[in-house]
Structure 1
């Protein structure tokens, strides 16, 4: 193969890569996004208090993270100013009950919004939860989830980030912008996925499955 043929080959490969980038077949430093509507994770104790002794969650469908699912069961949230009905329970059960809402929800309920990582319930407000068989009052556990990206250690190496790191993420489009302070969460059983709530998605005109760019 002569030099001209080599140059032609490089040019051909470059053209192919550019076409793939434009078509979205190759996503450079991008992650898919999932929009989290308000929901609740229940402990076994609270599940039984709300739905009856020995009650088991009824799976409706899998959600973005492996092993997690949307259940048929729903509850009503009650705050000092109002209530929100038909809040979906997600499975599996957890050690502690956790309610995840948006800032808009918190204002409708009359609850001070506290932004926190999922699982970190310290300093979060409580709420009243009503089920078909009972009512409970939790003194903490109602939060606005901090925006975050799930990934495996391999993903983290590819993106050049580490667990707990905060990055900026860019959304394209007419109402696009930059999400700041997005937490990287690394675990081997995670699927690559960025989670934002409904308020954030509406503000940036984002849909489930959109690809957003990690800026770091």
Structure 2
């Protein structure tokens, strides 16, 4: 159907710097690709770590690659609460003053003073996609989720993120996906 896009569920994951990766896995370590993701050049790696909060820990958390300039831990609100972290809802990359945690890898540990967020739901678009949908970078929209299961949902406060390095897709976390009973190939529509 025209004017629709895939809605992907983004499970808990971590982005790390090369320095942090080496502290966790050893000097000179490089991430290995497990699966390519929908966004060009992004991948889920084979490497897994443990995220530790004040109350408990989450084991076997995936690292997404490639390495980034900042460390960032993306959890659902349920995950963050369960391990005792006060994680604000933020756009990716906005980690100043966010939640703290410890990361544990096979070769070492890293204390993050900030970096834990609940990712704000967003739609990745190219400039052409944005023009086709009549939206602009940073615009806040509502997205209708319909799948015939009795849980029609409208997600408000959805950020448009425009770059020609993106592929058209909306990202929601596991809490949001479960609340809307999103299907595997769930589609969304911007509503005004």
TM tier relative to shorter chain: over 0.9
- Which among 163, 173, 176 is matched to residue 197 of structure 1? 173
The structure with more radius of gyration: 1
Residue in 1 that maps onto 2:72: 98
The alignment partner of 2:44 has SS state of strand
- Which among 123, 126, 129 is matched to residue 100 of structure 2? 126
Mapping of residues 130-141 of structure 1, within 5 Å: 130-141=104-115
Normalising by structure 1, we get a TM-score of 0.86
Q: Are 1:31 and 1:214, in contact at CA under 8 Å, matched by a contact in 2?
A: no
Residue in 2 that maps onto 1:209: 185
Q: Which runs of 4+ in 1 moved over 2 A?
A: none
Q: Unaligned 5+ residue runs, structure 1?
A: 1-26
Could you tell me how far apart the structure 2 residues matched to 1:161 and 1:63 are?
24
Could you tell me how far apart the structure 2 residues matched to 1:81 and 1:47 are?
24
Q: Are 1:35 and 1:207, in contact at CA under 8 Å, matched by a contact in 2?
A: no
Please identify, of 202-211 and 100-109, the stretch whose mean Cα deviation from structure 2 is larger: 202-211
Q: Deviations over 1:146-175 (max 9, x none)?
A: 000000000000000000000000011311
Q: Deviations over 1:20-59 (max 9, x none)?
A: xxxxxxx222111110000000101100000000001011
Could you tell me how far apart the structure 2 residues matched to 1:124 and 1:209 are?
32
Report the Cα offset of residue 209 of structure 1: 2.3
> Which structure has greater strand proportion?
2
RMSD over aligned CA atoms reads 0.8
> Which structure has greater helix proportion?
1
Q: Unaligned 5+ residue runs, structure 2?
A: none
Please identify, of 172-181 and 156-165, the stretch whose mean Cα deviation from structure 2 is larger: 172-181
Report the Cα offset of residue 189 of structure 1: 1.0
Q: Deviations over 1:87-110 (max 9, x none)?
A: 000000000110000001011110
Could you tell me how far apart the structure 1 residues matched to 2:185 and 2:93 are?
25
1:180 and 2:156 correspond: yes
Matched residues, number: 190
Normalising by structure 2, we get a TM-score of 0.97
